[in-house]
Structure 1
Amino acid sequence: MLLPPALSDTIIALSTPPGAGAIAVIRLSGPEAFALTDGLFRGKNLAGQPSHTLHYGTLREADGRILDEVVVSLFRGPNSYTREDVVEISCHGSDYIVQQVLAAFTRRGARFAEAGEFTKRAFLHGAFDLAQAEAVADLIAADSALSHQVAMQQMRGGFSRELRDLRARLVQFAALLELELDFGEEDVEFADRTGLVALLEEVQALVRRLLHSFELGNVIKNGVITVIAGRPNAGKSTLLNALLNEDRAIVSAVAGTTRDLIEDEVSIEGIRFRFVDTAGLRETTDEVESIGVERTRQRVRQAALLLYLFDLTTNTPGNVQAEIEALNPGGQIPMLAVGNKRDVASEAQLQAFSTQPNTLLIAANPGEGLEELRADLLARARGNGLDQTGAATIVTNLRHARSLEKTNAALDAVLMGLATGVGTELVAADLRQALAALGEITGEISSDDLLTSIFTQFCIGK
């Protein structure tokens, strides 16, 4: 864990989104936050006021010119977000007023905050660990009930507690191995090898469970990538527009209208689906269209779910099955066949497809069968564990997943070393690597480059 450096400057930033609004909130943090605000505030002496109080007054320049009427919130460190003295100024949400207030403070010595610097200071002052800090950004970006739930659990320390428990169990044995190295010449064993193997296997099982959860976590964070594929004029763009309830894609009777991927998101009962409309699948001599077809095939390989849309009135079950097999050989990607234009299909055509497994019949243009389609999508998502996360820890961060992969590889090396009887120093070295990889997640082991990479992804005012 990095020790907090001497953070002697006071930083300032707009914490609400830029643009005109009813109210804007400007945040200061640092040792001079109260003094700088007192230099502009007229109403009462803020330095003498208790923490966690609100004060109404005006901000004025030295010549008496009023910048705005404001409400000032005071938070004395260490009982604040950053663990420093923090002032939050609620002013009117005019861009002009905001810029005037920011300029007045910077002229008096405040520095504009870097991206994520408030949260970085909170981390450096020990308010929370690195995994919890990253969850702050995830919580701000959460746009579904599930992503909110997972981010909130991580921010409140659920994931960190699990990692600390894993690390503490490994540290005990690592200490005994290090002790053996200190008494290497006396050929003694302080660590029971049988017990160590059992512990390592148990810890590794937990690490692998967390790694496996990343597949689910990635879907929660980025949405269920649902690719709509099929031949030209099957109604893919019409279906996309119907699911989104807006005219997102161009619909035309001319085959090959869609040349590139069109993506958009919709939340269905708290689960986010990212629908991808694709170019119609066919052999073509048109160079642009052929590029679109190839992109379709690439996107299908990345899909979490494939909706294969076909025209009921121009296909047979055998043709559809052959096309699906060519696009998704072996059924590697979860797939639902969706027959379109049921409103104009004959009874014989409806009967031919109604008995086909994993097939749903709709009419995208009038919107028939869309509720059944949404219900099917939800059932598939929930069947994969979505919205049933409960208290389980879900890994949603790629950096965390990579650290867990390094932990798993290091534990493999430790177990191999114990099985083959390699020297204690080699086993201890591999165990130290496992501990270091776990420590990277929470920030117990970190570097300036890592912190810069993480916090620059935050918004400025956070």
Structure 2
Amino acid sequence: MALAFPPALSDTIVALSTPPGAGAIAVLRLSGPEAIALADAVFAGKQLRDQPGHTLHYGTIRDDNRILDEVVVSLFRGPHSYTREDVVEISCHGSDYIVQELLLLFTRRGARLAEAGEFTKRAFLHGAFDLAQAEAVADLIAADSQLSHQVAMQQMRGGFSRELKDLRGRLVQFAALLELELDFGEEDVEFADRTGLVALLQEVQALVRRLLRSFELGNVIKNGVTTVIAGRPNAGKSTLLNALLNEERAIVSAVAGTTRDLIEDEVSLDGIRFRFVDTAGLRETTDVVESIGVERTMKRVQQAALVVYLFDITSTTPTLLEEEIQALQLPAQVPVLAVGNKLDTASDQELDAFRTRPDTVLIAASRGDGLDELQEALLLRVRGEGLDRLGSSTVVTNLRHARSLEAATLALNAVLTGLATGAGTELLAADLRHALAALGEITGEISSDDLLTSIFTQFCIGK
């Protein structure tokens, strides 16, 4: 059945699809029933209405007798286009003035400026892809590492959606049998094999739980790892930050308390984005400004995804190190990696005290010694075994998807509990409907206008 669109979605829309600002070229995109006619009316070249789709045409754009620019027009006829509508893309010179003149020209002739994400929203509404794939388009645009690109591509090509649709399809068969039992309630018959339903629910539940477990890894891939470098003054935190970034980002001084504010920067390690935060040295101080820095450090430590506790090997004992880490009062889920600095000046006895300590790496930040081992340890804390299976497994990166999977898990648990306690068919069917609805929300098989608006307004205007 064809979708009935609100009047706004039957308009012809136009927007700049390349980043704003001066550049070699800019691309304007038109989509809708009048896209080709609007372009034809101002394009001096071939008659676009007579040309086949997926073709390029050189000519000029004219506003009456005034030539606005020499352009190349890309013609895509629906349904073989991104939005499944007629689409015209105009490649012009990347002048802000030219872009604004072209947008004004098309809006005067009847086009409407596109809303954020409206091209992708139309593609979704026309069945080009489901909602999870549409969200992956935004993730692909925002991808800034090899892994985030890989995961977004996998989801955009439908890997996650296929897995969900398979789960949902198998549940729908049993749900239909339960609904049929309700229709024959007075006859006390069972069409749905309860034993088979339990086995299926347990299998589906295991898959949903696996997807939920992958969200921790997926969140790291998508958003990066906030890694706080903490420690006492003069442990070498700023030196370590500079070494990791391979640039002089933080001021290094022998004077204790030099770093009084948070200094942050990002670096990609083996495809994972780490956001390192250099912090004020942790100590009791009467200096008002430094004490504010220490307070900010403690707050940021509590918010970290990973803490690197840097200590001076030459002035720290294993017992003192344990006390200092305990004083951080880290949440249980935040891993901490102890990093001993200044191994180049430490004695063999001082080094031996920490060489066998687990979760400890020894470095000389000023010379770069041990940085490879430190990077490997950071990656191990973050990825565990998850990335080794990334090529063949679905990874959940979207918080909305994770919440829907959590809702599905609760509903599936309710069905299993109902089966174990002999609950009536009405209760089983209701809980199973909740599970199906939660899974359907991910792909957009069940969606609301508010949900769609929330998702697509996060896109850039021209997408």
Larger deviation, residues 265-274 vs 166-175: 265-274
Matched residue, 1:3: 3
Q: Does 1:267 align with 2:268?
A: yes
Per the alignment, residue 170 of structure 1 pairs with 171
Distance 2:209 2:174 in 1: 20
Per the TM alignment, residue 94 of structure 1 is displaced from its structure 2 partner at its CA by 1.2
SS in 1 for 2:39: helix
Aligned mates of 2:145, 2:106 — CA distance in 1: 37
Residue type of the partner of 1:3? L
C-alpha change, 1:426 and 1:373, in structure 2 (3 Å) is same
1:24 aligns with 2:43: no
Q: Deviations over 1:232-282 (max 9, x none)?
A: 221112211221122333333332333343322111222222212222222
Q: Is the Cα–Cα contact under 8 Å of residues 146 and 387 in structure 1 kept in the other structure?
A: no
* TM-fit CA distance, 1:347: 4.6
Match of 2:48 in 1: 46
Does the aligned pair in 1 maintain the 2:220–2:272 contact within 8 Å?
no
DSSP-derived class of the 1:167 partner: helix
What's the RMSD between the two structures over aligned residues? 2.0
2:403 corresponds to: 402
Deviations 1:191-250 (A, max 9, x none): 111211111111111111111111111111111232211112211122112211223333
Q: 1:120-153, CA deviations, whole angstroms, 9 ceiling, x for partnerless residues?
A: 0000000000000000000001111111111111
Quote how far apart the aligned CAs of 1:382 are: 4.4
Structure 1 SS opposite 2:92: strand
**Does structure 1 conserve the Cα–Cα contact (< 8 Å) formed by 2:307 and 2:336?**
yes
Aligned pairs for 1:59-208 (under 5 A) are 59-62=61-64, 64-208=65-209
How do 1:272-291 residues align onto structure 2 when only pairs under 5 Å count? 272-291=273-292
Give the equivalent residue in structure 2 for 1:317. 318
Secondary structure (helix, strand or coil) at the match of 1:386 reads: helix
Please, which moves more after superposition, 153-162 or 268-277?
268-277
- Aligned partners of 2:186, 2:380: CA distance in 1, in Å? 63
CA distance in 1, matches of 2:54, 2:295: 59
Is contact 2:302–2:330 with CA below 8 Å preserved after alignment?
A: no
Q: TM-score, normalised by structure 1?
A: 0.94
Q: Distance in 1 between matches of 2:177 and 2:333?
A: 47
Identify if the C-alpha distance between structure 1 residues 347 and 417 changes in structure 2 by more than 3 Å, giving closer, same or farther: closer
Which of 38, 42, 49 is equivalent to 1:36? 38
Alpha carbons 2:168, 2:436 under 8 Å: kept = yes
Q: Which ranges of structure 1 fall in alignment gaps of 5 or more residues?
A: none
CA shift in 2, pair 1:78/1:366, >3 Å? same
Contact 1:4/1:124 (8 A) holds in 2: no
CA contact (8 A) 1:210 1:393 kept: yes
Segment of structure 1 superposing worse, 118-127 or 380-389: 380-389
| Secondary structure, counterpart of 2:18 in structure 1 | coil
Give CA-to-partner distance per residue, 1:42-81, whole Å, 9 cap, x none: 111111000000001111111x111111110000000000
Aligned-residue offset at 1:96:
1.3
2:263, 2:279 within 8 Å by CA — same for their partners in 1? yes
Amino acid at match of 2:150: Q
Alpha-carbon distance in 2 for matches of 1:4, 1:457: 24
Please name the residue that 1:55 is paired with.
57
The residue type equivalent to 1:397 in the other structure is N
Alpha-carbon separation, structure 1, partners of 2:52 and 2:333: 62
Equivalent pairs counted in the alignment come to 461
**1:291 offset after TM fit, Å?**
4.2
State the one-letter code of the partner of 1:78.
P
Deviations 1:426-451 (A, max 9, x none): 11111111111111101111111100
Alignment correspondent of 2:251: 250
1:183 Cα deviation from its structure 2 partner: 0.8
| 1:202-221 pair list within 5 angstroms | 202-221=203-222
TM-superposed CA distance for 1:356, in Å, is 3.5
Larger mean Cα displacement after TM superposition, 428-437 or 359-368: 359-368
Runs of 4+ with >4 A deviation? 328-332
Deviation at 1:328, TM superposition (A): 5.5
Alignment partners' CA distance in 2, 1:424 and 1:374: 55
CA drift of 1:348 comes to: 4.2
* Cα pair 1:220 1:386 within 8 Å, conserved: no
SS at the partner of 2:451?
helix
Q: Counterpart of 2:344 in 1: which secondary structure?
A: coil
- Quote the residue 2:359 is aligned against: 358
Aligned AA (2:57): H
Question: Structure 1 residue 388: deviation in Å?
Answer: 3.6
Q: 1 CA distance for matches of 2:387 and 2:327?
A: 29
| Alpha carbons of structure 1 residues 460 and 60: separation in structure 2 relative to 1, 3 Å | same
The answer to whether residue 334 in structure 2 is matched with residue 336 in structure 1 is: no
Pick which of 159-168 and 300-309 moved more: 300-309
